RNA sequence: GGAGAGGUGCCGGAGCGGUUGAACGGGCCGGUUUCGAAAACCGGUGUGGCCGCAAGGUCACCCAGGGUUCGAAUCCCUGCCUCUCCGCCA
């Protein structure tokens, strides 16, 4: 959520910044609503102040004087009720409109209409693509490591069954990622993946984007698409102590995505699925842009470190305004080389939000007697499976049709070759 | 699923219809005292909205949302959460 004060004070600059996302933004009608709301609030408060004054007199009065005071107080009460009747729907609408606005892209975000205009920042490793290489599904099926035919029958599209050694590899890579991120001071959390509306709304996944999440209709609940949601919501409504920041959290959880609007896209194998497991890093920091930029670099480098340990070639790109999600102000994606696809595929997404999420969550901090301020938030993937398995299988396959286990995972898998 | 108890400020804990933003104790901050510290004593100690250059004014907030009343932390209803007991089940 954006700062209403900023919208009031510099509407033109805000509109221009938001419209870089390629959609027209109607700030005027929001400001009009805001003005009406404030006017009604003033009138409401004045009536209520008068009513309070009168009703304090009541116990000291008797007879007709008392009757008269009660009547006047009642009159003021009616005015209050009238103002509130008008105020409520307007406030609800204003809140709704504010929740619908996306974040302001940072000036550094490259202009663009889509992922085509994302800017590559750096590459690591040597991408390999040999003629004998298979894609991950053909490879895994030949080794009996993935079964999508049976899962489709009883669980639907975009589902999968990992089997045999691949289960060990998945657990190993998740464990490796968790151990690594914990060693960097990120406290591991295994959070609920079923959360209330407020947590989804507070992190920006609602109301816009509701069609991307699974809603539990019998109960008040939503399945999260990432543990960013529960981890960022942990301290919602609290005022943290400045000296405790930044909080570095890691989450491991199941993640659920409806993938609405992606029919026919990435349908092969387990690249794009409805349920997956992810180790995530979340940072809750001070309202300090320089520090936030440093933390952003930190979480990207953390992920790069894991990919380098796994010896997977990757590149880092800066998302353009056309590819940037609604909540982040800036996002780096890390794309890992996938020989089967012959391209780099997105495996990580590292975003900074500034105070966009914390305004929604009412998550603040303060130092001593200073005024509370909204925290900044950031997050990034550490490892997401099965997508990372696509990269591991395809990059580690050998000409004889077997798959090697990355050195750093051998102790965790308990073997050097899959199959 | 059934029965009961309860949710008050940083913490503990009063208040149960009017002058209570909230007694009292603890914590924390500042001061007095001290060579220094402890103890003691004195003072201070929430957040948000609106108006205002400011000083300040005003409204709201005692889990949340409704209601009763001239007036609610206090009464009523609903929801959420916690605890105890019973049932059921991993």
Distance CA A252, CA A243 (A): 26
Whether A47 is catalytic: no
Residues A221 and A346 in one domain: yes
**Residue % of chain A over a pLDDT of 90:** 79
Q: Is the domain of A8 the same as that of A135? A: no
Q: Which of A74, A100, A126 is the last residue of a domain?
A: A100
pLDDT in tens, A298-318: 999 999 999 999 999 999 999
**Domain assignment present for A355:** yes
Picking from A250, A190, A249, A257, the residue whose alpha carbon sits closest to that of residue A223 is: A257
A44, A248, A364, A387: the active-site residue = A387
Arithmetic mean of pLDDT, A215-227: 90
* CA-closest candidate to residue A16, choices A331, A359, A321, A353: A321
Structural domain range at position A73 = 4-100
- Identify nearest nucleotide to residue A51 by CA to C1′ distance: B70
CA-based nearest residue to A195, from A218, A215, A221 = A221
Domain count along chain A? 2
- Give the domain CATH number at A244: 3.30.930.10
Tell me, yes or no, whether A136 and A87 share the same domain.
no
A54 touches strand B (CB under 7 A): yes
- CA of A197 and C1' of B79: distance in angstroms? 15
Q: Is the domain of A202 the same as that of A53? A: no
> Which letter, b or e, does each residue of A73-106 get, where b requires 16 or more Cβ atoms within 10 Å of its Cβ?
beebbebbeebeeebeeebeebeeebbebbbbbb
Strands A314-318 and A330-338: antiparallel
Q: How far apart are CA A228 and CA A232, in angstroms?
A: 6
> Which SS3 state, helix, strand or coil, does residue A119 take?
strand
A2 Cβ contacts chain B strand, under 7 Å: no
Computed over every residue of chain A, the mean pLDDT equals 94
Q: Is residue A106 part of a domain?
A: no
The verdict on residue A108 lying in a domain is: no
Helix (H, G, I), strand (E, B) or coil at A353: strand
A416 has catalytic annotation:
no
d(CA A410, C1' B77) / Å: 62
Asked if A348 and A409 sit in the same domain, the reply is: yes
Contact A7, A35 (CB under 8 A): no
Which residues from the 62-81 window of protein chain A have CB within 7 angstroms of nucleic acid chain B? 70, 73-74, 77
- A95 C-beta less than 7 Å away from strand B: no
Query: Is residue A257 in some structural domain?
Result: yes
Determine if strand B comes within 7 Å of the CB of A159.
no
Instruction: Say if residue A57 is in the same domain as residue A171.
Output: no
Does some domain include residue A328?
Answer: yes
A86-122: pLDDT as tens digits: 898 899 899 999 999 999 999 999 999 999 999 999 9
pLDDT tens track for A359-374 = 999 999 987 777 889 9
**A12 with A142, same domain?**
no
Q: A38-42, A162-166, A228-232: lowest mean pLDDT where?
A: A38-42
Catalytic residue, candidates A47, A151, A349, A351: A349
Q: Which nucleotide is nearest to A58 (CA to C1')?
A: B70
Tell me what pLDDT residue A404 has.
98
* A176 compared with A43, residue with greater pLDDT: A176
Q: Is the CB of A241 under 7 A from strand B?
A: no
A126 and A92 within one domain: no
- The string of pLDDT tens digits covering residues A127-184 is 999 999 999 999 999 999 999 999 999 999 999 999 999 999 999 999 999 999 999 9
**Separation of CA A57 and C1' B19 in angstroms?**
10
A60 confidence band (pLDDT: 50, 70, 90): confident
CA of residue A227 to C1' of nucleotide B85, angstroms: 36
Active site residue A272: yes
| ipTM score for this prediction | 0.86
Query: What pTM was computed for the model?
Result: 0.93
Helix (H) or strand (E) holding A89: helix A63-100
Q: Which nucleotide is nearest to A39 (CA to C1')?
A: B50
SS3 A360: helix
CB of residue A59 closer than 7 A to nucleic acid strand B? yes
* Nearest C-alpha neighbor of A358 from the set A235, A270, A209, A213: A235
Q: In this structure, is residue A187 part of a structural domain?
A: yes
pLDDT-based confidence at residue A64 (cuts at 50, 70, 90): confident
CB A56 within 7 Å, strand B? yes
Catalytic residue among A158, A248, A257, A359: A257
- Say yes or no: A121 and A83 in one domain: no
At residue A61 the predicted structure's pLDDT band, cuts being 50, 70 and 90, is confident
Q: Quick one: pLDDT at residue A62?
A: 80
A261 falls in which pLDDT band (50, 70, 90)?
confident
The domain boundary residue, chosen from A100, A123, A158: A100
Q: Between the CA of A81 and the C1' of B67, what is the distance in angstroms?
A: 13
CATH code, domain carrying A11: 1.10.287.40
Claim to verify: residue A270 and residue A213 sit in the same structural domain: yes
- Tell me which nucleotides of strand B come within 7 A of a protein CB: 18-19, 47-51, 58-60, 66, 70-71
pLDDT for res A392: 98
Strand partners, A161: A147
Domain presence at residue A256: yes
Which residue, among A64, A119, A128, A96, has the nearest Cα to A317 in the 3D structure?
A119
Both A125 and A191 in a single domain?
yes
Q: Are residues A88 and A139 in the same domain?
A: no
Q: Is A310 exposed, middle or buried (0-12, 13-18, 19+ CB in 10 A)?
A: buried
What mean pLDDT is predicted for residues A309-330? 97
């Amino acid at each position: 959520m954006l700062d209403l004060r900023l919208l009031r004070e510099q509407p033109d600059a805000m509109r221009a910044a938001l419209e870089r996302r390629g959609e027209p933004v109607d700030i005027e009608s929001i400001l009009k609503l805001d003005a009406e709301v404030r006017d009604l609030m003033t009138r409401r408060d004045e009536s209520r102040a008068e009513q309070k004054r009168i009703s304090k007199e009541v116990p000291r009065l008797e007879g007709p004087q008392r009757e008269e005071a009660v009547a006047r107080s009642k009159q003021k009460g009616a005015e209050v009720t009238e103002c509130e009747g008008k105020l409520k729907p307007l406030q609800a609408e204003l809140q709704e409109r504010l929740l619908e606005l996306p974040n302001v892209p940072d000036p550094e975000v490259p202009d663009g209409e889509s992922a085509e205009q994302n800017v590559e920042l750096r590459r690591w490793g040597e991408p390999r693509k040999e003629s004998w290489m298979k894609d991950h599904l053909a490879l895994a099926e030949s080794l009996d490591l993935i079964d999508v035919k049976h899962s489709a029958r009883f669980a639907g599209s975009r589902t999968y069954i990992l089997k045999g050694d691949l289960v060990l590899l998945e657990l190993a890579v998740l464990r490796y990622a968790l151990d690594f991120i914990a060693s960097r001071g990120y406290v591991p959390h295994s959070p609920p993946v079923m959360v209330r509306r407020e947590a989804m709304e507070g992190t920006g996944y609602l109301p816009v984007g509701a069609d991307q999440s699974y809603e539990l209709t019998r109960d008040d609940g939503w399945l999260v698409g990432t543990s960013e949601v529960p981890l960022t919501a942990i301290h919602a409504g609290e005022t943290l102590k400045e000296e405790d920041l930044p909080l570095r959290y890691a989450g491991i959880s199941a993640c659920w995505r409806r993938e609405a609007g992606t029919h026919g896209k990435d349908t092969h194998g387990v690249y794009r699925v409805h349920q997956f497991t992810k180790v995530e890093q979340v940072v809750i920091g001070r309202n300090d842009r320089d520090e936030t930029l440093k933390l952003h670099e930190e979480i990207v480098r953390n992920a790069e470190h894991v990919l380098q340990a796994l010896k997977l070639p990757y590149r880092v790109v800066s998302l353009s305004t056309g590819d940037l999600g609604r909540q982040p102000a800036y996002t780096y994606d890390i794309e890992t080389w996938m020989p089967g696809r012959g391209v780099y595929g997105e495996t990580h997404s590292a975003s900074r939000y500034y105070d966009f999420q914390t305004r929604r969550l009412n998550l603040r901090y303060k130092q001593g007697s200073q005024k509370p301020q909204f925290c900044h938030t950031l997050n990034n993937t550490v490892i997401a499976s099965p997508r990372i398995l696509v990269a591991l299988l395809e990059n580690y396959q050998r000409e004889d049709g077997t798959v090697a286990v990355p050195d750093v995972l051998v102790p965790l898998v308990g073997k050097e070759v899959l199959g």
